[in-house]
Structure 1
C-alpha cells in the first residue's frame, strides 16, 4: 500500500487562495452595500421624514427619558410643538420671496407704460 503524501502548498498557491478569498469577501461586501443603497432609494421619503421629525421631537423625547416615561399634564401637544418651532423657519424662507415680490411691484410702478 502506497502512502499518499500531501503536497505542501507553494507560495503561489497560497497567494492564489488568498486572492480568491479576498475577491469573494469583496463580492459579498459589494452585495451588502448594493442592498443598503436599494433600501435607502426605496425608502428615501420615510427616511427624510424621520430625519426632519427627529429635529422637531428630539427634545421632547429627551425630556420623557428624564421623567422616567411619565407624561406631565399641561404640556404642549407634539403637533403644537412642531408648529411653534417651525414658524421662524417659515419666516426665514418666506422673507426673501416676499422681498423679491415687493421689489418687483415697486419696480413696475416706475417703468414706462406703453400708451
Structure 2
C-alpha cells in the first residue's frame, strides 16, 4: 500500500507527552509555537495513520525499540533501533509495526499548541 492510498486508521498506538518549550521567548518569529517531545509506542500490528503530512509541523523521529515501517512515496522503509528520519513539509506518510514486539519512537516536532 503506498502513502497515496488510504492507510488504515490509527490502532494500537500510545502517545506519551514528555516535554515542551515555548519557542516565542526563545526565537523571534516563532511566537505561539512549541518544540514538543513525545514517546510513541506502536503495538505489533498497530498503525499510526491515516496518511498525514507535516506542513507547518516539521520534526525528527528516533526509534528506541522494535521496527517501524514508514510508508511514503509508494515505498515502505523499515527503521529499527538507533535509526531516525526527518519529517519536513514534503513528508506525506503513515507508519505501522509489522513486527512481533512493540515499536517505540521518540518524536520531536514544532507545533502550534491546541
Shorter-chain TM-score tier:
under 0.3
TM-score (norm 2): 0.17
TM-score (norm 1): 0.16
* Larger RCO (CA under 8 A, 6+ residues apart): 2
Greater fraction helix: 1
Greater fraction strand: 2
